[in-house]
Amino acid sequence: MPKNAIVIGAGIAGLAAAIRLKAKGYDVTVFEANDYAGGKLHSETSNGFRFDMGPSLFTMPWLVDDLFKLHQKNPKDYFTYHRKQTVCNYFWEDGTSFSAPADSEQFITDAVSCFGETADDIQTYLDGNRQKYGLTKSLFLEKSLHRASTYWSKDTVKAISKIGGMGISKSLDQWNSQHFRNPKMVQLFNRYATYNGSSPYRTPGIMSMIPHLEMDLGTYFPKGGMHRISQSLYQLAQDLDVTFHFNEAVEEIVVENKRIAGIRTHRDYYPTQVAVSNMDIVPTYRRLLPNEKHPEKTLQQERSSSALIFYWGINHTFDHLDLHNILFSEDYQQEFDHIFNKKTLYKDPTVYINITSKEETSDAPPKMENWFVMVNAPGNHGQSWEELQASAREHILQKIHRTLGVDLKPMIVTELVLDPVGIEERTHSHLGALYGAASNTKFSAFLRHPNFSRKLKGLYFCGGSVHPGGGIPLCLLSAKIATDFIPES
Ligand code: FAD
């Protein structure tokens, strides 16, 4: 008879953990507080427009494919995607614009002509990013940092011996400024700090490996939109007979003699000896394990940035925009100072515009577009979000007018809004952080919570708030690392 295992939360990592536990022979039950699977990977429609509510950028799609292959299924029967030829369109207020090609040779040619950098300098920078990624991925992304065995491998010793030359003691901004003269080029590469919700003025230079993910490994668009990622995994889990309990939040993890005995919800008590929490690590301890000793140092780490997003249905089309577009702030440093230090929004924000109807025409009515308009925001520290939303809306519209020369306000025919409070309420993300803890120090990677409990036998963790971090690919890897610790049923 198979043993049972419980997963708390049906976010992308919880779904992946359930699928992996099934492959280990467990009878798996997932408890989800919401009435849908996917967590932050969720979609809504309004007046004929479809919006992906959370992630918009998809990298490393093979990590999704792996879950289908694990069960001898053809991923294409569930989920398809294509590689984007343009990574992102960048705009500055002085009229400069740059459309970043996915092909790195073309990127160099175009960047030389737009920013006046030399081809050699750009090539050296990109080669360095590739090397950093190659050296560190197995240590930081694919293994637990919390088991001695990780440090015995040849790869790890090599990575650690080279870490000093990877910009670990400089900020990403210092690292990029050392490589490029043109402040716009520096800004373009600084923006990758936001991929883990950090500040380029504080996150270490080793983070320059992130552009490698986009520029060499590629950016992708899933057919049907980002939401298809979570929905296809939900479908797979259903086909594998994983049981889902929606609208049933876990209220307590029951512990007996330092091992997991079961979980309690408002409906019932469910015994189990194996539980994987996909819930943010802070509320997992504070709410579900109030009587256990908490790893305070980990729980009190600075959180990543959050976001304020306007989902606008626009009754117009814009040929010079693509799937991913960025309108840069004139003072990036001030913007991050406002987000991380002043805990407020800057009057001249960097505006990210994602338009999935460029790829999927059915996402908007004919001759219209669905704009996901996001600014980075501080976490929810009790600010007056109603006021911040109202002023940010004006600042964003002014920014679009100054940069693209468009008066967008009269073109908005439908609007939804999500702020850090909404993100926190919908997914229990502590302070509404997008990516768990921030990576604003050189030790951040080592301070993330492990994928298992050191104190409670049978308790494991996956998702954006634990090792190796937030974002879809890392969440999928967290589910693998966590379930690799769990013996076969
Ligand atoms: P979540 O998606 O937060 O899921 C956790 C689940 O647990 C939720 O469904 C929640 O309801 C449930 N839960 C919580 N408590 C309980 C309980 N007590 N009982 C039962 N269930 C519970 N990543 C990218 O890769 N690319 C991007 O472009 C990108 N952009 C983003 C933009 C936005 C606006 C946001 C919000 C996030 C973005 N991210 C992006 C980050 C990415 O969405 C997350 O890192 C990832 O989806 C987190 O997945 P998860 O499984 O850890 O958790």
Residue-level pLDDT at 445: 74
Residues 54, 58, 61: CA angle, nearest 5 degrees: 130
Given the CA of residue 418, which atom of ligand 1 is nearest to it? 34
Q: At 271, is the secondary structure helix, strand, or coil? A: strand
Provide the percentage of residues in the chain whose pLDDT is more than 90. 89
Over residues 62-86, the mean pLDDT reads: 97
Q: What is the DSSP string of 71-107?
A: TT--GGGT--EEE-SEEEEEE-TTS-EEEEESSHHHH
C-alpha of residue 423 to centroid of ligand 1, in Å = 9
Question: What's this model's pTM, rounded to 2 decimal places?
Answer: 0.96
Helix or strand run (H / E) with residue 123: helix 119-136
Please give the distance, rounded to the nearest whole angstrom, from the Cα atom of residue 463 to the centre of ligand 1.
Answer: 8
- CB-based contact 260:273 (threshold 8 Å): yes
Ligand 1 center–CA 410 separation, angstroms:
33
* Residue 202 confidence (pLDDT): 96
What proportion of the chain, given as a percentage, has pLDDT over 70? 96
- Amino acid 158: pLDDT: 67
- At 295, the pLDDT band (50, 70, 90 cuts) reads very high
Residue 150's pLDDT is 63
Distance, in Å, from the CA atom of 254 to the CA atom of 260, rounded to the nearest integer, reads: 6
For residue 277, CA distances in Å to 10, 98, 157, 421 come to 10, 42, 31, 22
- Exposure string (b/e) for 290-306, b if CB count within 10 Å is 16 or more? eeeebbeebbebbbbbb
| pLDDT above 80 for 126 | yes
By C-alpha distance, which of 478, 484, 472, 488 is closest to 39? 472
* 135 contacts: CB under 8 Å, gap ≥ 6: 155, 158, 159, 162, 166
In whole angstroms, give the CA distance from residue 381 to residue 117: 41
Nearest CA to ligand 1 atom 22: 9
User: What's the average model confidence in pLDDT over 455-461?
Assistant: 97
For residue 149, name the pLDDT band (cuts at 50, 70, 90): low
User: Is the CB of residue 427 below 6 angstroms from any atom belonging to ligand 1?
Assistant: yes
Residue 157 confidence class, pLDDT cut points 50, 70, 90 = low
What is the average per-residue pLDDT within 68-76?
Answer: 98
pLDDT at 143 over 90: no
CA distance 135 to 141: 11
Query: Helix (H, G, I), strand (E, B), or coil: what is residue 378?
Result: coil
* pLDDT-derived band at 474, boundaries 50, 70, 90: very high
Q: How far apart are the first and last CA of the chain?
A: 9
Q: Is 139 in the pocket of ligand 1 (CB under 6 A)?
A: no
Does pLDDT of 410 surpass 80? yes
State the pLDDT at residue 73.
Answer: 98
Residue 313 · residue 51 · CB < 8 Å:
no
Q: Could you give the count of Cα atoms lying within 13 Å of 133 in the half-sphere of its Cβ? A: 16
Pairing between strand 306-314 and 324-327?
Answer: unpaired
Task: Report how far residue 364's alpha carbon sits from residue 144's, in angstroms, rounded to the nearest whole number.
Answer: 43
Q: What is the pLDDT of residue 447?
A: 83
Centroid of ligand 1 to alpha carbon of 279 (angstroms): 9
Q: What's the chain's average pLDDT?
A: 95
Q: Which residues on adjacent β-strands are paired with residue 252?
A: 264
Ligand 1 site, residue 39, Cβ cutoff 6 A: yes
Q: Is the pLDDT of residue 213 over 90?
A: no
What pLDDT score was predicted for residue 135? 82
Main-chain phi, psi angles of 13, to 5 degrees:
-75, -35
Is the pLDDT score of 348 beyond 70? yes
Average pLDDT over residues 156-178: 80
The CA 335 to ligand 1 mean position distance, Å, reads: 25
Q: At what angle do helices 183-190 and 104-115 cross, to 10 degrees?
A: 140
Average pLDDT over residues 99-125: 96
CA–CA distance, 60 with 217 (Å, rounded to integer): 7
Question: Going by CA atoms, what residue is nearest to atom 27 of ligand 1?
Answer: 55
Q: State residue 159's pLDDT score.
A: 64
If you ran DSSP here, which 8-state letter would residue 302 be given? P
Q: Which of 373, 389, 377, 388 is nearest to 306 (CA)?
A: 377
